[in-house]
Amino acid sequence: MRNVYVTGIGMTKFGILPDMNLREIGETAVWAALKDAGLKPSDIGVAYCGYAVSGHIYDQELVMGHTCLRELGIKEIPILRVEQACNSGGFAVREAFLAIQSGFYDVALAFGLEKMFGRGTQKAVDALSKGLDTELYAEYGLTPGATFGLISKRHMYDYGTTVEQMAMVSVKNRRHAALNPRAQFQKELTIEGVLTAPMIAEPVTLPMCCPITDGGAAAILVSEDFLRKRNCRKPVKILASVGASGSPSWTYKLSSHENYAISSKLGYEMAGLGPNDIDVAAVHEPCAIMEIMTYEGLGFCPMGEGGRFVESGASSLGGRLPVNTDGGTLSRGHAIAATGVAQIGEIVTQMRGEAGPRQVEGAKIGLQHCVGGYQMGDACGSTLHILERSSEI
Amino acid sequence: MGNVTNEKLSETVINETNLLNRRQFERIDGQWRLVRRKCKTCGSMFMFPKVTCPNCLGDTEFEAVPFGGKGEVFSYTVVSVMPTGFATPGLIAEVTLQEGPRLLTILDVPDVNDKRIGIGMKVEMVFKPVRKDEAGNPLYYYVFVPEKENGGL
């Protein structure tokens, strides 16, 4: 099997981008990744575009990837849309990895983009609700917020997790985002402020939920042969790239989701590593409770101990295993299909030692995990990547 | 469903055209019933008609077995803003049916902040009009209410 490296990353600022349309968001992220890699547009052999909810919001459902790339000099190659709700970007990276590992291509582009502001909040919420199976859920008025409330309540019941511990996730990620100029929110929060904020779905308050976000992110993956031939800049090796669907059932636990165990088992096996080897992680927390569940599901702490894990400071910068150093979905923002690619960007930045004030000192191994969709007690699917700081190639 | 009003509603008012998500139900002895699909090969039970049994994956046939309509609250949340067309605030719950499967549903109670609402509370299914079609005619679906035998709310 061929070794695969990330050599270029780029992203727009996440937040409200009134001066950029969808094409410009995509172009900006991809162009930044090309510059970062020091590669030409014509080097790209295949492109995967994560794109999920903006099609509904902006009436541009199809061929978004082509729209972004056609005048960047990236043409006459396969350009494919990848969709798995919030994890569209994660799977775009996974597909790029496979394209190179298989030997078909030497350079692959993975990018994701969304524009969620500008057409009213209701339109954005309607678009998000399309990540739920309508046969199962439409007649109950289920919203993502309600799902977060149900999961949080059950996690509290099963494990004694507290609302203060959930608030600590929001506070911690905001503290990290304050060090990330590309994050959507940078004003620090307090536990009391989180708990007294408007209630979304009891016990979940507004700062415990991710925002809607405009933004794009891109990553360029290359083969080891190409890397040597072209002397690419600061490559970061991909030790594991895995993806899997979830394990839906009619007797789900709600307070734990199977996808974490499924993708982490595959990922740790592929990398030949375990949770104790991870120095920094980027995980998907559309709600504070889901970061707590991720600690447990990926083996960062025992099942049920996630609340105490964040409370101990272990997942903060300076702690044993800093999680979401860029602010995560809660504070970096959640431009749905761009999120998985932005996570890869943050881990690459950490592996390069270029994260500035949010750098995890001496970080050698980084993990990315993202989930998308929700059906019958589990995410529809997840991807997990493990990246390694490279000694000079 | 030991609720006379509910049975009468089910017999005389609800029909093919005004029942939402029709594929979850069968009309049995004059009553609309939420049904499980029982695999005739392995005996496993599931919701919704299937092309194969999700357990044994055989070329099997299914038998429609009605739910008793009773269960208990597995989790719940008061939702501050519900989607257009739903009562706000709303009480959304996961209910474990007596027969095993878990369902997402709406809990229909006079006061969503009633302190007696909690995990483990006994509930039962009733039909009610949940919204209207374009001509203004009521559309029916099921919700769960606190079980009358346990005092209701």
List of chain B residues whose C-beta atoms are within 8 Å of the C-beta of residue A248: none
CA–CA separation, A193 vs A385, rounded Å? Answer: 34
* C-beta atoms of A139 and B84 within 8 A: no
The reply to whether omega before B89 is within 30° of 0 (cis) is yes
Looking up tokens 């919420």, which residue turns up? A125
Please tell me the total number of residues recorded for chain B in this structure.
153
Question: Which of these, B131, B129, B91, lies nearest to B107 by C-alpha position?
Answer: B91
Query: A304: exposed, middle or buried (C-beta count within 10 Å: 0-12, 13-18, 19+)?
Result: middle
CA angle B117/B120/B124 to nearest 5° reads 75
Distances (CA, A) of A19 to A15, A60, A154, A335, A358: 12, 18, 42, 16, 29
Question: Which of these, A63, A33, A71, lies nearest to A341 by C-alpha position?
Answer: A33
Considering only the C-alpha atoms of chain B, give the largest distance between any 2 of them, rounded to a whole number of Å. 49
- Full 3-state SS string of B62-86: EEEEECCCEEEEEEEEEECCCCCCC
Token pair in block for residue B140 = 């029916």
pTM value is 0.95
* C-beta atoms of A140 and B75 within 8 A: no
Residues 164-223 of A with CB under 8 A from B: 198-204
Question: Which of these, A213, A212, A240, lies nearest to A93 by C-alpha position?
Answer: A240
Query: What is the ipTM score, two decimals?
Result: 0.90
Mode of pairing for the β-strands spanning A215-223 and A204-205: unpaired
- For A155, which residue in chain B has the nearest alpha carbon? B75
- For B130, which residue in chain A has the nearest alpha carbon? A139
* C-beta atoms of A200 and B80 within 8 A: yes
Q: What is the pLDDT of residue A77?
A: 98
Give the CA-trace dihedral at A155, A161, A166, A168, to 10 degrees: -160
Q: What is the pLDDT of residue A142?
A: 85
**Consecutive 10-residue runs of chain A (393 residues): their mean pLDDT?**
95 98 98 96 98 96 96 96 97 98 97 97 84 80 90 98 98 98 98 98 97 98 95 91 92 93 97 98 98 98 98 98 98 98 98 97 97 91 96 61
Tens of pLDDT, residues B87-126: 889 999 999 999 888 889 999 999 999 999 999 999 999 9
